[in-house]
Amino acid sequence: MLITELKSKEIIASLAEGKVFMINCHGCKEVRFPEKEALELQKELQAEGKLTGVITTDYICNPDNMKLRLEKYQEQIAEADVVLVLSCGVGVQTIAEYLEDKKVCAACDTYPVPGFQGVTPLEYKCDQCGECYLNLTGGICPITACSKSLVNGQCGGSKNGMCEVDGDMECGWERIYRRLAQLGRLDVLKCPTQVRNFATDDEVAK
Amino acid sequence: MENYTKYKLKSNEELASLLADKDNLFLVACNKCFKEFETVDEPDCDELAKLAAEQGKTVVGSAKVDFLCNKIQTERKLQDMIPEGAEHVLVVSCGLGIQTMADLTDKPVYAASNSLNYRGHHGMALTAKSCDACAQCYLNITGGICPIVDCSKSLVNGQCGGAKDGKCEVDGSKDCAWEKIYRRLEKQGRLEEFLNQPVQVRDYSKTNVKVISDYVKSIRENRLDGYYGGVHPSERKEYTEHLSLVRFPEPEEVVIPLSMHAGAPANPVVQVGDTVKVGQKIGESAGFISSNIHSSVSGTVTAIEEHAHATRGTCLSVVIKSDGKNTLDESVQPKGDLDSLTPDEIVEIVKEAGIVGMGGAGFPTSVKLKPPKPIDTILLNGCECEPLLTADHRVLLEFADDVVYGLKAVMKTVNAERGVIVIEDNKPDAIELMQAKVADCEGMEVVVAKTKYPQGAEKMLIKRVTGRKVPSGGLPADVGCVVSNISTVKAISDAIQKGMPLIERVVTVTGEHIKNPGNYIVKIGTNTKDLIDHCGGLVGDDITVKAGGPMMGFVLNDTNVPIMKGSNGIIAVDTDHSVEQPCIKCGRCADVCPMELSPLYFAKYADEENWQGMKEQNVMDCVECRCCEYICSSKIPLVSKIKAGKNAVRGMK
């Protein structure tokens, strides 16, 4: 579940040299899909006589169904010089692998969404650090709620409770302090220094 | 399938030290997501309970919750979940679920698990591909292989030089991503283009946290606007929304099914060879939930026989050959002034005219007009939330006065003070017109609703407009509402003002495979194929024709079926070639279900024939809006599984 934005007109124009086959993925449309912009692009390409075909489908990251759905477009794909995919990076990679001999291009940039891990975009974010600090912080995540992802308390740079890196953001550690005070658990702050292990789980397992 | 389970329990030592100074524990575990849906009984919660017991701790309660990070649902479930006496809440979940719990309860919340740590974001299928959402997609210069996630060092300007035999020096089990990139581009003959690329610089400031979090806030509001869930399929109404209604040419023959409504089929009251006139009753209502049927042409009854039917396979139908004269039946006479008619007289007129809900369900309107409970609000559904369809939109624009008249009649009949016409914001012209029309009508108003499917479903409409929730198994009347469709009240107006029974309706014929889409006034019993042919026929191949809209419409394998009272559209769209795949617990269905159900269980239990489980998951509350099926990333035909479940549950009683 990621946000996609169309790349700039110039970049897309440089990608769409020659004939184009266009693939729109509406799988995560409930979160974000630049539908209007995609339609405009389609119309422009059509007007220029560049479009060999277009399919609007969903979940192209699911390779089995993607293949079944693209099958009837094989001729139109063969005719195109480039397959332009409007989806997140996972979708583009999946198509690129399937059409290995074809120039497959991403027409979108992909941005992260907080809460992407779960079912719905959320105000919370989990960075998958692999060593959850939440029980030391009253359930507020120091990795994502602190700009510097500090795990041992505030940096000291906040002004009026706002982060020095991003003035629109509250200092995560001040929030943590307040929550712990509210819970009567300020003693938790006396826990020994935490060290973050940046290895991924795959690497740890080895 | 890749395993993207999000968490694992912390180590026993860590948990032991976490528990050391705590007692009277309440445990909450998330049932996990993004893994094949094999069990509803994930073991982690019990493991933690066991560990706590070994430590001599009192566990005052525990709960296993689906999609713990779904804040709205979790909040609802939490209400009666945490027992008195619980002092500490231990959560087994990824960081999202733990943060959600920490926000929702004033008790101290602790993480008993760690999120699993892996690179990038997976998609909606459990493949090995992932995306780091770097906001500056490099795939165009790398042949579709991602240098950010596939290269251990996330290099964007070529290999580091450390690879040995094509393997990464950081992780020997991985292929060097840059070697893969080189080979693919070599294969595509794009090496020169590739090697001439300027140096790439990764811009880490591209992801603006504030912009993203504001966006997330806005879509959450949008998604929860009016009622939980719902979806926004592409509307594609531009094919026909601007096209005025056109009367479909007089059919030479009509086939009028005796069942176009909920309940018992009507009994035929004409015989083969009889001469009939327009508006003459040809089928008599056969019970309380049933409806009269009338002839839509004047001519001769040539057969009364089983005929193909859009939703029921076949159905006894009256075949009438038109004489082309459209002679009106003597019974078609204005029924008098609305002010002088009593409510009972109006109900009788509606019943006699064979009016049924024209939104598709076909429930006899006269029954709705005799609600068992007091009604204060009439809701007219002018949402037309189904993509593609524009029939109600055109009726609003071209029969506005009739709609207002019909609403007035319904308000009078059930003695309601308030009459609300609900229109989605994608029909500004209809909103403006109706606002002007109701300006001088006491008690009437237009409510503009933000477009979201299934807004027109009566329970959603009631929630949106009045904030009231129809109880499980209940009817709109239970919360003082009657919901009616735009075309239905127009039919009521015709029945009173002209004395004309329900013999024709507005049908949208559209879709990317209809040559000349349009909105037509069509006589009931007209052949669907004739209608399609009149619109220039189908273009292209591999087409699915549906009666109704793309969401709730019925697939027509044979278009030789008659247009019925509930036929709001005939659409010809692309056939989707996909096959059912295993459920991966992506949770999208639970996220969009407007009835706040968990459709993933319906799929699982239907396959296991666990009808009791279906019942416990409240399958009977499902309104079959198809949101879950639309959003399902595994393309599971959920609604047919739900229907099977409903049938089985009905049989259990």
**Residue B204: per-residue pLDDT:** 85
> What's the CA gap between A168 and B254, in Å, rounded?
68
**How many of the other CB atoms lie within 10 Å of CB of A131?**
18
Residue at B263 is within a domain: yes
Residue where a domain stops, chosen among B55, B84, B115: B115
**Residue A118: per-residue pLDDT:** 59
Q: What is the pLDDT along chain A (206 residues), one digit of tens a residue?
A: 478 899 999 999 999 889 999 999 999 998 889 999 999 999 999 999 999 999 999 999 999 999 999 999 999 999 999 999 999 999 999 999 999 999 999 999 999 888 766 567 788 888 888 888 998 898 899 999 999 999 999 999 999 999 999 888 899 999 999 999 988 889 888 888 778 888 766 665 54
Q: Residue B589 is which amino acid?
A: C
- Residues of chain A in contact with residue B116, where contact means CB-CB under 8 angstroms, are 128, 130, 201
**Residue A204: per-residue pLDDT:** 59
Shortest CB distance from A106 goes to which of B10, B137, B216?
B137
Number of domains in chain B: 4
- Residues of chain A in contact with residue B590, where contact means CB-CB under 8 angstroms, are 119
Residues B308 and B362 in one domain: no
* Angle between helices B343-352 and B486-497 in degrees, nearest 10: 100
The neighbouring-strand residues paired with B444 are B419
CB B133 within 8 A of CB B121: yes
**Residue B116: per-residue pLDDT:** 87
On the 0-12 / 13-18 / 19+ scale of CB atoms within 10 A, B396 is: buried
Q: Is B228 on the interface with A (CB under 8 A)?
A: no
Residues B405 and B458 in one domain: yes
Residues B344 and B487 in one domain: yes
Instruction: Tell me which residues of chain B, numbers 201 to 220, contact chain A at a CB-CB cutoff of 8 Å.
Output: 206-207, 209-210, 212-213, 215-217, 219-220
Give the residue on A whose Cα is nearest the Cα of B33: A118
- Residues of chain A in contact with residue B10, where contact means CB-CB under 8 angstroms, are 132
- Residues of chain A in contact with residue B209, where contact means CB-CB under 8 angstroms, are 166, 169
CB A172 within 8 A of CB A138: no
Residues B356 and B473 in one domain: yes
Residue at B201 is within a domain: no
Q: What pLDDT digit, counting tens, does each position of B120-159 carry? A: 888 888 898 999 989 999 999 999 999 999 999 999 999 9
Q: What pLDDT digit, counting tens, does each position of B23-36 carry? A: 999 999 999 999 99
Residue where a domain stops, chosen among B512, B539, B574: B574
> What's the CA gap between B639 and B496, in Å, rounded?
39
3-state secondary structure chain A: CCEEEECCHHHHHHHCCCCEEEEEECCCCCCCCCHHHHHHHHHHHHHCCCEEEEEEECCCCCHHHHHHHHHHHHHHHHHCCEEEEECCHHHHHHHHHHCCCCEEEECEEEECCCCCCCCCCCCCCCCCCCCCCHHHCCCCCHHHHCCCCCCCCCCCCCECCECCCCCCCECHHHHHHHHHHHHCCHHHHHCCCCCCCCCCHHHHHC
CB–CB of B108 and A27 under 8 A? no
- Pair of tokens at residue A13: 């124009």
Residues B475 and B342 in one domain: yes
CATH of residue B360's domain is 3.40.50.11540
Q: Is B128 on the interface with A (CB under 8 A)?
A: no
Residues B440 and B530 in one domain: no
Residue with tokens 């809209």: B549
What residue ranges do the domains of chain A occupy? 3-111, 134-198
Residue where a domain stops, chosen among B463, B497, B531: B497
For the cut 90, the answer to whether the pLDDT of residue B222 exceeds it is: no
**Residue B185: per-residue pLDDT:** 95
Residues B381 and B526 in one domain: no
**Residue A119: per-residue pLDDT:** 61
Residue at B193 is within a domain: no
**Residue B206: per-residue pLDDT:** 83
Instruction: Tell me which residues of chain B, numbers 440 to 469, contact chain A at a CB-CB cutoff of 8 Å.
Output: none
Give the residue on B whose Cα is nearest the Cα of A89: B131
Residue with tokens 């001519």: B299
Share of chain B above pLDDT 70, in %: 100
Residues B508 and B492 in one domain: no
Do the interacting molecules here have an ipTM over 0.85?
yes
Q: Is B37 on the interface with A (CB under 8 A)?
A: no
Cβ neighbours for B46, distance < 8 A, ≥ 6 positions apart: none
Residue at B418 is within a domain: yes
Per-residue DSSP letters for B449-501? Answer: E---BTTTSHHHHHHHHH---PPTT--GGGGTEEEEEHHHHHHHHHHHHT---
Residues B105 and B47 in one domain: yes
Chain A interface, best mutation among B9, B75, B96, by max A CB count within 10 A: B96
Q: How far is B232 from chain A (nearest CA, A)?
A: 7
Q: Is B110 on the interface with A (CB under 8 A)?
A: yes
For residues B337, B338, B344, B350, the Cα torsion angle rounded to the nearest 10 degrees is 100
CA nearest B99: which of A167, A31, A149, A176? A176
CATH hierarchy code of domain A3-111? 3.40.50
Q: What pLDDT digit, counting tens, does each position of B528-539 carry? A: 999 999 999 999
Q: Mean per-residue pLDDT for B571-591?
A: 94
Q: Mean per-residue pLDDT for B376-381?
A: 97
CA separation (Å) from B634 to A70, A142, B304, B580, B638? Answer: 17, 35, 45, 6, 10
Residue at B345 is within a domain: yes
On average, the pLDDT of chain B sits at 94
Residues B379 and B485 in one domain: yes
Q: What are phi and psi of B303, to 5 degrees?
A: -165, 155
Buried b (16+ CB within 10 A) or exposed e, A34-72: bbebbeebbeebeeeebbbbbbbbbbbbbbebbeebbee
CB–CB of A61 and B234 under 8 A? no
- Residues of chain A in contact with residue B127, where contact means CB-CB under 8 angstroms, are 61-63, 90, 94
> What's the CA gap between B412 and B418, in Å, rounded?
10
CB–CB of B140 and A28 under 8 A? no
Peptide bond into B454 cis (omega under 30): yes
> What's the CA gap between B648 and B349, in Å, rounded?
38
CATH of residue B82's domain is 3.40.50.2300
For the cut 70, the answer to whether the pLDDT of residue B653 exceeds it is: no
**Residue A206: per-residue pLDDT:** 44
Share of chain B above pLDDT 90, in %: 87
Q: How far is A101 from chain B (nearest CA, A)?
A: 5
pTM of the model: 0.92
CB–CB of A27 and B633 under 8 A? yes
- Pair of tokens at residue A197: 């292990």
**Residue B472: per-residue pLDDT:** 92
Residues B87 and B38 in one domain: yes
SS3 state of residue B318: strand
Q: Is B587 on the interface with A (CB under 8 A)?
A: yes
Q: Is B13 on the interface with A (CB under 8 A)?
A: no
Domain that holds residue B250: 245-332+503-574
Residues B18 and B89 in one domain: yes
